[in-house]
A and B are shown apart, each in its own frame.
Chain A
Amino acid sequence: MTNSIAEKRRQQEDEDDEEDGDLEGWGERNYTDERSWEALQEDESGLLRPIDNKAMYHAQYRRRLRSLSAASNSHRIQKGLIRFLYIVLDLSRAASVMDFRPSRMAVVAKNAEAFIREFFDQNPLSQIALVTIKDGVAHSLTELGGSPESHIKALMAKLECSGDSSLQNALDHVHEYLDQIPSYGHREVLILYSALTSCDPGDIMETIQKCKKSKIRCSVIGLSAEMFICKHLCQETGGLYSVALDESHFKDLILEHAPPPPAIAEFAIANLIKMGFPQRAAEGSISICSCHKESKVGEGYICPRCKARVCELPTECCICGLTLVSSPHLARSYHHLFPIAPFDEVKPSCHNEPHLKSQKTCFGCQQSLVNPGNKPSLHVACPNCKQYFCLDCDIYIHESLHNCPGSQILGSTDKAVEQSLDHTNRANLHALKKDVQKEFKDHMHHMDCNFCNDMYFHYGCTPNL
């Protein structure tokens, strides 16, 4: 009798221990998140477990990837590399709601900042402008420009909200500016919408049609719930509509807009654009900068046509209007045109095939693909090199690396790739071939390119491109 009770107790303790073991993991992770209890769910036996979001997130990510590649079934898509993006921030009354901490407005601003940096990183040839909606009126915060710092500074300086919000006014305001953009530029609007209503002075449907006619791609990220008019706007103009669940989701959603979208078909005529590649001014030379109208020492670029000095690249020359870029900028825009194919999900049954049986580790990070319980976890295979990758590597390869390490090693005969590499990078790649796997394992993304200080596979990063 006593024996059995003792045994029961022991079992219970065991169970408790198990639970503790589980809880430690997530407890530490989410310590600062004050809604940590929402990340719990009850399993079949009534124990509490952290919700396994990984599979869900991955499914969402794959859907995104698929929808992106579905739009471009042919293996080469045209993409708008030169984008003119207006970011509209809704600073109406609804932006002060505190369901995001500390407030929607602060979260929007914080993530807009991250987005602006990421955007210029991925689209060095593009320009951004900021517009705010307040008291039912739209104001320009900054004009179109290529400098992240000036946008961020302006954004952070003006954070207060009041009044209603008007989608129509914002669109009209943006339309006025975007309509004058030359035809090679891609016109886009990204609206970060906190409010759930839109108090408009006229018929918004007309404005939407106007935007559609001017080929302005409007995307909206909502902060609280789905609104019909936003959905309609995005559908009409070919943009994306999404609603954020929480802050991290909001960040994901906004960063989704950083890579260039596929170009609108009838808009994507090949166009030659005149560009200047300015030389860097000599160290210590003093000249009057044309953008700030003050004298500066060193650290500048000189327009090849009119010899004016500008502080930052890329930009348009204030004097002669020439687009000024540097070659790494061009190169960095390059990889969007040659995306790697989405990886195929591997069905657990495929493991029975003999030739694949040996692959039990991820080709990227060398982590085991088999879960502790000898259950194979979800993983994917590259359609090109047939190597297996874990989900983390899948996301990393598609979103940051833009190159499949397996294909790089196997496909050394791929002349197109080889030829686009200059000797330095080729050397790099050869080095990589040897220890790419080790590199992956040690630190997933810490091998910097000599030229662009960026991830290491930017084989276009040549100074003389």
Chain B
Amino acid sequence: MKFPIEDVTVYFPYDHIYPEQYSYMVELKRALDAKGHCLLEMPTGTGKTIALLSLITSYTLSKPQGAIKLIYCTRTVHEMEKTLAELKLLHDYQVKHLGPAAKILAIGLSSRKNLCVNRAVLESANRDSVDAACRRRTASWVRALAAENPDVETCEFYENYERAASGAVLPPGVYTLQDLRAFGKEKGWCPYFLARHMVQLANVVVYSYQYLLDPKVAGIISKEMQKESVVVFDEAHNIDNVCIEALSVSVRRQTLDGASRNISSMEQEIKRFKATDANRLRDEYKRLVNGLALSGNLADSDSWLSNPALPDDILKEAVPGNIRRAEHFLHVLRRLLQYLTVRLDTENVEKESPISFVASINNQAGIDQKTLKFCYDRLHSLMLTLEITDTSEFLHVQTICDFATLVGTYSRGFSIIIEPFDERMPHIPDPVLQLSCHDASLAIKPVFDRFQSVVITSGTLSPIDLYPRLLNFHPVVSRSFKMSLTRDCICPMVLTRGSDQLPVSTKFDMRSDPGVVRNYGKLLVEMVSIVPDGIVCFFVSYSYMDGIINTWNESGILKEIMQHKLVFIETQDVVETTLALDNYRRACDCGRGAVFFSVARGKVAEGIDFDRHYGRLVIMFGVPFQYTLSKILLARLEYLRDTFQIKEGDFLTFDALRQAAQCVGRVIRSKADYGMMIFADKRYSRHDKRSKLPGWILSHLRDAHLNLSTDMALHIAREFLRKMAQPYDKTGSSNKKTLLSQEDLEKMGDSSRDEMFFTHHLELAQKSAVGDVRTPFMLDLKASFQVNL
């Protein structure tokens, strides 16, 4: 269908559109018009991706003078493929209606591991070794060597690609990773390098967050993206953590040992070069004297995506004298390693600011701040000079240099924390030195500065006003959309009391109370007997989960659960968890039924969907607060308070509730689906906690469901499951449309459309208000009826 939004004709590949998709497009259109950033929250399963894609591509089509590039960032390869598949559908539709003029080039970009077609390279197991195997065949000096000596192995695909030179282009179309590989195989070109090359020319690029946020990668991949781009971060509820992780480094004993091995082997290399090819080192030295900006591997154009790890001055300044020579640089690194080793040997937890840390390095190891700042680039240059292809072997020394550069560059927003052992296992010494970033806005700042519009979207972005503060930007639009449903297919409940009417909570002073553990167990035992197929339980932490399962096992609760359903548990081991998930799904399929025990913030909570019968009920045991005694968290909280005036409590609650929402949101992935959510903790009934849940959950959380005990929850669950098992009309009844056709859209004028959504919200608000007032009256009447009967 096609319909106008203000001055843009939107091409939408389906015959019907959800009302919320429509309003999502309207808001997005306004943000694009204003050339500003926006935050949009819309529940999963409402077709966010297709709404986004069709609006942005249609927007570009309607404005031929300023072609806008779309950069779409996803979290996983799986999501990337899904996005591209949707885009393909949309593209076909647009071409059908508009002719070849609508053709665009859209590609997905992923690591070599996902794109490589060379069989010999693909034999390597993990990503790093695939990268290394590729470099061994494609590095310039290897190829130069191969030109003389035919025995040196090269990659035929890369050679073909190089030979085709500027002729190697992709014809317009939408390419998933699969398509890219097929195309590469057919033409004999390397898909990875082809894709990397085409990124600059494509209209739509889909890739991972890291390519834009991690300064090391972004410098290579994304530096030449045009300013007139729209950047979309999908599933962006954890974007602040991604930003922080991109700039945080932790150093352990193994890292130091490895780095020192790396340095030794580099020293040997240098010796070898001195004997055979002394000119190379001299050339490098000369280059460094002239400054890093001209050193060849960095293009000198000011339209770069500025790299937060490399502030502007580094490009203009020359490399300091004491590290220009390769041997000298290695000496500096050795001294740094020694210093770090000494610091790691501490008995106590230490916390320092970067400034004092740098000062103490200067005192004790004689390395000044400027030298530290250049470590990353100096190492890079040295590795090129030494013709090191096996980059995966040199990860340790790279880590150390990252650390040095970051600590030398930033004086604010970071802290250095040295812990001699893990808090939870104080008997095992495991010293770790962490440079932790507290300010999520540092990594994402260049993105906001550089690109015209940045769209941050997810199913859970509540409270929506906190994200702009955390990321330090000003959105022109921030909206949260509700789901329009033909039936109430989600049933959130807050369970505050167990079957014995005593409160349940994972609060620190209550969590080990045997009564609470028993009540939680009883809740699950009752639920497994009335809920069909799959149930997912989320606990606040691994240690709590271990504890509670142990207790349940001893008291026989686990056995009772097993009578109804099989039990599967998430562990920290990825393979084990995958196997458990696989068996869990099979148990759900064959009707045996299963329970999956999982941990909030774990792998399962983030990336695995429990849709349809794989999750009819999800129970969130407790509020998943972060480990509040963690030194890193405390430092971050302090920073947030001082810099952004965000209270510790507010941030912790926000973070806990978004995790909880993320966990329970796993259960519903489309409108045809249904599921229940139980928040089992008395703290959820408090307004300050509850109000931070996303709007689409809150709007289904009825006042009567806020303070339930186990038996009441059971009754509600039974009724709900029976109701949901009945057949229903997918389009909704006439007065409450949930699917709009083209005629429906045309019928409503622009103005009335907005009114409709507005009044709908108002109605909801009024209803809930009215409900509050009436409840006692209702109860009274009910009581009197019972007496009468």
Contact = CB atoms under 8 A, between A and B. Distances in A.
A199 B592 contact: yes
B718 A204 contact: no
Interface string A243-280: 11100000000000000000000000000000000000
A197 interface: yes
B593 A197 contact: yes
A63 B613 CA distance: 25
A228 B612 contact: yes
Interface string A83-121: 000000000001000010000000000000000000000
Contact of B592 (A31, A46, A200, A242): A200
Given A42-B774, A197-B593, A227-B532, A243 B726 contact: yes
The winner among B725, B726, B777 for most chain A CB atoms within 10 A is B725
A205 interface: yes
Given A42-B778, A63-B727, A197 B591 contact: yes
B299 interface: no
A222 interface: yes
Contacts of A167: 591
B724 interface: yes
A200 B724 contact: no
Contacts of A230: 591
What band does the interface of chain A fall in when counting residues whose beta carbon is under 8 Å from B?
Answer: 20 to 34
Contacts of A227: 532-533, 591, 613
A245 B564 contact: no
B559 to A, nearest CB: 14
A206 B43 CA distance: 38
Contacts of B532: 196-197, 224-228
Given A36-B785, A37-B782, A197-B565, A224 B591 contact: no
Interface in A214-252: 222, 224-230, 232, 242-245
A198 B592 contact: yes
A99 B718 contact: yes
Given A63-B727, A167-B591, A196-B532, A226 B774 contact: no
B590 interface: yes
A99 B591 CA distance: 22
A227 B612 CA distance: 10
Contact of A203 (B590, B723, B724, B729): B590
A282 B37 CA distance: 95
A385 interface: no
Interface string B703-721: 0000000000000001001
A224 B724 CA distance: 11
B588 A228 contact: yes
Contacts of B589: 205, 228-229, 232
Contacts of A199: 592
B591 A245 contact: no
Nearest to A99: B718
Nearest to A32: B789
Given A42-B778, A196-B530, A227-B532, A37 B785 contact: yes
Nearest to A203: B590
Interface string B571-604: 0000000000000000011111100000000000
B721 A226 contact: yes
A227 B593 CA distance: 9
A16 B533 CA distance: 48
A48 interface: yes
A231 B612 CA distance: 12
A48 to B, nearest CB: 6
A200 B589 CA distance: 12
A225 B722 contact: yes
A225 B591 contact: no
A199 B565 CA distance: 10
Interface in B732-789: 774, 777-778, 781-782, 785-786, 789
Nearest to A222: B725
A226 B613 CA distance: 9
Contacts of A243: 722, 725-726
B731 interface: no
Contacts of A204: 590-591
A229 to B, nearest CB: 3
B722 A200 contact: no
B722 A205 contact: no
A143 to B, nearest CB: 28
A100 to B, nearest CB: 11
A232 B530 CA distance: 20
B10 interface: no
Contacts of A222: 725
Contact of B591 (A27, A31, A229, A244): A229
A40 B530 CA distance: 25
A167 B592 CA distance: 10
B97 to A, nearest CB: 32
A99 B711 CA distance: 13
B532 to A, nearest CB: 4
Contacts of B782: 37
B107 interface: no
A42 B723 CA distance: 19
A245 B725 CA distance: 9
A245 B530 CA distance: 14
Contacts of A46: 774, 777
A46 B774 CA distance: 8
A197 B528 CA distance: 10
B346 interface: no
Contacts of A245: 722-723, 726
A228 B593 CA distance: 10
B62 interface: no
Given A196-B530, A196-B532, A244 B722 contact: yes
Interface string B494-533: 0000000000000000000000000000000000011111
B770 to A, nearest CB: 8
Contact of A198 (B591, B726, B774): B591
B786 A37 contact: yes
A35 B681 CA distance: 30
Contacts of B723: 245
B246 to A, nearest CB: 41
Contacts of B533: 196, 227-228
B781 A226 contact: no
A196 B564 contact: yes
Contacts of A27: 789
A42 B780 CA distance: 14
A225 B785 contact: no
A232 B612 CA distance: 13
Contacts of B593: 196-197
Contacts of B612: 228
Contacts of B729: 63
B658 to A, nearest CB: 30
Nearest to B771: A42
A451 B533 CA distance: 52
B787 to A, nearest CB: 11
Nearest to B733: A59
A60 to B, nearest CB: 8
Contacts of B777: 46
A224 B590 contact: no
A333 B283 CA distance: 100
23 contacts: A34-B789, A36-B785, A37-B785, A46-B774, A46-B777, A167-B591, A197-B564, A198-B591, A198-B592, A200-B591, A205-B590, A222-B725, A224-B722, A225-B718, A226-B721, A227-B591, A227-B613, A228-B588, A228-B591, A243-B722, A243-B726, A245-B722, A245-B726
Shortest 6 CB-CB contacts between residues of A and residues of B: A229-B591, A243-B725, A228-B613, A225-B721, A226-B725, A198-B591
Given A42-B774, A196-B531, A197-B564, 20 more contacts: A31-B789, A46-B777, A196-B529, A196-B530, A196-B532, A198-B591, A205-B589, A222-B725, A225-B616, A225-B721, A225-B722, A225-B725, A226-B532, A226-B725, A228-B591, A229-B589, A230-B591, A242-B725, A242-B727, A243-B725
Interface of A: 27, 31, 34, 36-37, 40, 42, 46, 48, 63, 94, 99, 167, 196-200, 203-205, 222, 224-230, 232, 242-245
